Structures are given as C-alpha cells and as structure tokens.
Amino acid sequence: MSSSTLHHEERPTHYRWVVLTVIFITYVICMADRSNIGAVLPMIKGEFEISNFASGAISSFFFLGYAISQIPAGLVMTKKGTRHIVSLAVLLFSIITFCMGFATTAVALLVLRLLLGLMGGPTPVGMTSTVNAWFPPKEKGTATGVYIASTQFAPIIVPIIAVALANAQGWRSVFHWFAVPGVVMAIVFFLVQRTHPGQSRCVNAAELARITSTDTGGTEKRVDFGDMGWIDRLIRLRDEKPLDTNGRIMRSWNIWGNTIAYFFMNNVLYGMLTWIPSYLVTARGYNFIKMGFVASAPSIGGLVGALVGGVVSDRVFRGRRKPTMLITALMTAVMMVVVLVVPQNTVLVVGSLILTGFFLNIGWPMFTAYAMNLTTDGTYPFAISVINSGGNLGGFFAPIIVGALLDAFGGNYTVAFSYFVVVLLIGLVLILTLTEGRPAPKVGAATATRA
C-alpha cells in the first residue's frame, strides 16, 4: 500500500493540539514567574525605600538577561533541538523564582531578576520553534495566537493571586508559591514535546502529512494567498526567497525591521505590566486590593486579542501577518491616549484598559509568526532568537525609562505614558517598510526520525 493511500485511509491524530496545550500551560507559568514583580513592586519599594528608577530597574533586568540568552539559545536549538533545552530552562527558571523570596536587598533582587531572564531566554525560542515545526501554514497564526494568549492569561490571574498571598504571608511568599508549578511543567514538557512531529510516536502518518503539507497539495509551489487588492499593496506582498542560512537572516531588513518594531511593542507591553499597578494606586487612587483586580484588565483584553488576532490573520487575511501588526500599532496608540484622559470612573478605566490590551495583542502573535513565512524550519529558531532578543530589550528599557520620567516630572503619569504613544507610532512606520512574504512549503520535515 502506498504512503499516499495510507494517508487517505488513516484517520489523522491531533497530537499537535496536545503539544500546543502543554506549551500554553507552561508559558502561563513562565509568564507568571516573570510578571509577579509588578503586583508586589509597591511593597518592595516601600520596604527597601528605593526610587521609581530603581523599582523599574528591578523589573527591567529580567529583560536584559532574557535578551542576552536568546540568540545563543537559538543557535543551540538549531543543532540540538528544543525538548531538552526548554525543559531544563523552565526548571532553572522556577528554582530562581523560589530564591527571589529570600532576597533581603534591592541589589540581590535585581541580580536574581537578571538570572531569571538568562534562564528564561530559551523558552520563547523553543515554544515558537515548536509551533513552527508542528503546524501547517494555514494553522500557524492560530497556534501562535494561542501561545501568545498564554502571556496574557497569566497577568489576568497573577495580580489577584499575588496580592492575596502578599497580604496574607508577605511579598516573599509570592515567589515561593509561584515556583512550584514550573517544576511540574518542566517534567510534563519533557515527556510530551518533541522537536519535530516526525519524532513523536503519538503522531500518525496522516497527521504528519497534514502538518508537512501546504495548501497546494504538497508540491513545492507557494501557498495561495489569493488577491486582497489594496491590502496587498499596503503590506507589500511579495514572493520572497526563503532565508535559508543564518547569514541571510542577519542581512535581512525584514528581520531587523520586525525586530525593531517588536522592540517598541515590548516597550509598551512590559512598561504597562510594570507600571499599571502603581499608576492605579498613585494616579487613580485605588487601594491595594482593588488595584489587584483592575490591573488585570489589560490582560483580559489581551487574552481575547491574541486569540482573535491569530484567527483573523489566518482566516480573514489568509495568512498575511502585517495587517494585524499595523492595527496593533495604530489602535494601541489611540487607546493609550484614551487611558490617560478617561474620567475617574472604574467602569470607564477598566473598559479603556481592556481595549488597550485587546488592540495591543490582536497583532502581537504576528510579530512572532511573521518570520515563519520568510524562513525554513532549520533557520526559524535563529531568526526568532534575533527577533526576541532585540525585541525584548524593549522590556528592559521601558520600565527604567518610565521610572526615570516619573522621577523627573514629579510622578506625572501623563508624561510618562505619553512615551508609549510615541514609540507605537514609530513602530507603525517601521511595520509599513516590511515586505509580506508568501510562505514556502516545508521540505524534508516529513522524513524526520521518530524517537
């Protein structure tokens, strides 16, 4: 019986969705471990008697380590695969989170946040590389949206849980308790995940054929994007030769332009995660408990935005990534202005924050998925490590910059948050310069060795 006949007769498994579920849960935990600092930062600032600048630095140093470790992680994963490296990274990440609960000085906390970033760097490279390898082109946007949604689900629950723990047992207990789930998921990830679907005994030949096929029936033609008229002219849709070497990736303006735009988006996302809790307490007058609930509003909108954005990119824009990226940059800038001028009414404040999170994240998955249409399975890990490394430097600079602006302008959040509007508009211009590439077919993935 021919392999093509087998593929038609055999009902495909759906193990790739199990893998995606484990990715989602694991990254929720990783995101919780790195974002819990924002909820307890007012307590830490009070105990250690530090400035806004120093408070921002404690948050920021995670992203310095995060950025430093991603390119080395991408190079190693290109040769060694993702399974072992990501599992070890999640385990070490959790151990460092636990150690943060024993910090007795701001300097010690800053150093541990740096180490947390160094250990956390391999995780997004491994997660996105797994999505790229395990999903066909027509599902990549949706799958990436689910992965990115994990980054928004965590901040929904983290402020509430962290504030409750901090009030009951002190802020140090937050790090102790948050470390436990990561140890568990490091083991689960190792047991479930494989670098390529062809290496998993849980994936049958029919599912493997679906994963490695293209919309053109497995030939080496490109996926048919159809014609979307003025949208295609705006996004500069082109047939791009795949970036099949690391050297070509390093010389590609599309990769570097996306990286710089992602840098500015990260300025906003992680700047908000760090400073929205303090903004709600200082500028809006909420007490600590109420702040824990209101601070989750951007992430509620972000969760919906990430899920919707992935589906919209795959189905409405037929695999095009730039349209939702442009929507994110423009509409988030508009909503940041609304946040600053909305009257002191909890419903309006929460609503504006939800919409800000929604628009910020509707295109967020595509900054990751964008490179999937330009690279091969072999070069994507390096490409996404470059994008994540440069992009996450935005998470390093933003909390410090906002803290410095607050110190310089007497705690004026209107001035400090206007910084976000400026970088979003710069990001919008950069996105317009990028070429939208049609995805090339996967080559050779179906012959991966099972293990």
Polymer length in residues for the chain: 451
pLDDT value for 329: 95
Nearest to residue 160, comparing CAs of 272, 36, 74? 36
Give tens-digit pLDDT for 112-144: 999 999 998 889 889 988 998 899 888 888 888
pLDDT in tens, 380-399: 889 988 998 888 888 788 88
Q: What is the pLDDT of residue 441?
A: 53
Q: pLDDT higher for 156 or 204? A: 204
Identify which of 345, 326, 352 has the alpha carbon closest to the alpha carbon of residue 272. 352
The 10s digit of each residue's pLDDT in 438-449 is 765 544 443 333
Q: Which two tokens stand for residue 423?
A: 């970088």
Neighbouring residues of 349: CB distance < 8 A, sequence distance ≥ 6: 280, 284, 294, 297, 339, 342
Residue 446 identity (one-letter amino acid): A
When mean pLDDT is compared across 168-182, 281-295, 370-384, the lowest value belongs to: 281-295
**Residues 262 and 320: beta-carbon distance below 8 Å:** no
Return the bridge partners of 237, or none: 436
- For residue 427, give every residue at least 6 positions away whose Cβ sits within 8 Å of its Cβ, in sequence order, or none: 260, 261, 264, 265, 329
Where is 34: in which H helix or E strand?
helix 15-48
Here the tokens at position 226 are 């159809």
Task: Give the pLDDT of residue 219.
Answer: 37
Q: What is the pLDDT of the chain when averaged over all its residues?
A: 85
